[in-house]
Amino acid sequence: MQTYNLYSWHRPCWRCSRPTPRVIATNPDYEFNAIEVDDDLGKAMGKRFDYFSKKRGQWENWCVHCDALQGDFYVQTEEWLVEVGSQAESVQSMVDSGQVLDEGTVTVGQVDAYERIKFADHPVDIVVEANRTCFKCEKVTPVIFTVDPYSEEVREPHEASSLVLSKRFPFWKKSMNKTQKKEVWSNHCSHCGMIQGNGFVKAVVEEALDSAANNLYIARDQGSLRLHDSVHVKHVDPHVEQGYCGLCAKKLQPIKNQRRNGGMGSDWKSRRLHITCWRKLNESGF
């Protein structure tokens, strides 16, 4: 979700010379920078301002009298930034002086209450269990691993899922890996406690899927894999509260100021998903 501030003012149309309104959107944290309007934002603005419409493939301001294009690059740079913005201490001072009109805010990518509930039960990781012979004690020990629900890729459980899995499976825990020279999440033999390397466990799961036409349910019916309750978005809340994405569990990063349309956005503190992860959840069949 992203919230933008909207401002409007009037200028003479270059064609008919009559005063006509124009509207722009700005990032609330960097308001002097008028942003380029994408399709989602354009649709939201177009519902509120009849003169802001998409007539030639992009959303732009048009004269309310003669329907002439007002040239958004000129509107955003010469009128907003040069003529008005460069002479003001703040956008609020521009509003207070009557140079521009504060049109409120608009939020795009907003998820309604139903979708929030639906997302909470979307899977983050599919959890599978297999058996493997421990290389140290040579006894058969259970091992778990995860499968990406959206790409069906076999992968290591990430930090958020690992925290959940460690409460379900006592043999999945963090310990020092001599090869990597750091603590890692991994399976441990239920008999002797030896680490079962993630690369070896991944190979066991992939082999089971290869013999089952890459179908988890066939692998389950064949007895090579056991399926457990998935890790869902709602299960990784503690990790999300620390600033991580609720799906991929990677750190949420604010959009850097030096990028075009940069800034963190007014929804930054409440954000729980990367935009690409939100779209993946929204478009999935779960």
| Per-residue pLDDT tens digits for 42-98 | 888 998 999 999 888 889 999 999 999 998 888 888 888 778 777 888 888 889 889
Task: List the domain boundaries for the chain.
Answer: 2-108, 120-235
Residue 189 CA to residue 137 CA, distance in Å, equals 9
Distances in Å between the Cα of 44 and the Cα atoms of 49, 135, 187 are 9, 60, 50
Residues with Cβ within 8 Å of 279's Cβ and at least 6 positions away in sequence, in order, are none
283 and 56 Cβ atoms separated by less than 8 Å: no
Question: Residue 23, class by beta-carbon neighbours within 10 Å (0-12 exposed, 13-18 middle, 19+ buried)?
Answer: buried
User: What percent of the chain is predicted at pLDDT more than 90?
Assistant: 47
Residues with Cβ within 8 Å of 185's Cβ and at least 6 positions away in sequence, in order, are 156, 157, 159, 162, 166, 172, 173, 174
Q: Which of 101-115, 180-194, 240-254 has the lowest mean pLDDT?
A: 101-115
Q: Which of 170-184, 196-210, 221-235 has the lowest mean pLDDT?
A: 170-184
Task: Return the closest-CA partner of residue 30 out of 96, 80, 103, 72.
Answer: 80
Q: Would the pLDDT of 113 be above 70?
A: no
Question: Residue 103, class by beta-carbon neighbours within 10 Å (0-12 exposed, 13-18 middle, 19+ buried)?
Answer: middle
* Tokens of residue 160, six digits: 């958020």
Task: Return the closest-CA partner of residue 119 out of 252, 242, 246.
Answer: 246
Residue with tokens 């007539």: 55
What is the value of pTM for the model shown?
0.58
User: What percent of the chain is predicted at pLDDT more than 70?
Assistant: 89
Residue 262: per-residue pLDDT: 47
Strand-by-strand arrangement of the 140-147 sheet: 154-155, 140-147, 123-133, 226-232
At 6-23, the pLDDT tens digits run: 999 999 999 999 999 999
23 and 17 Cβ atoms separated by less than 8 Å: no
Instruction: Please state the φ and ψ torsions of residue 39, each to the nearest 5 degrees.
Output: -70, -40
Q: Which of 7-11, 40-44, 129-133, 215-219 has the lowest mean pLDDT?
A: 40-44
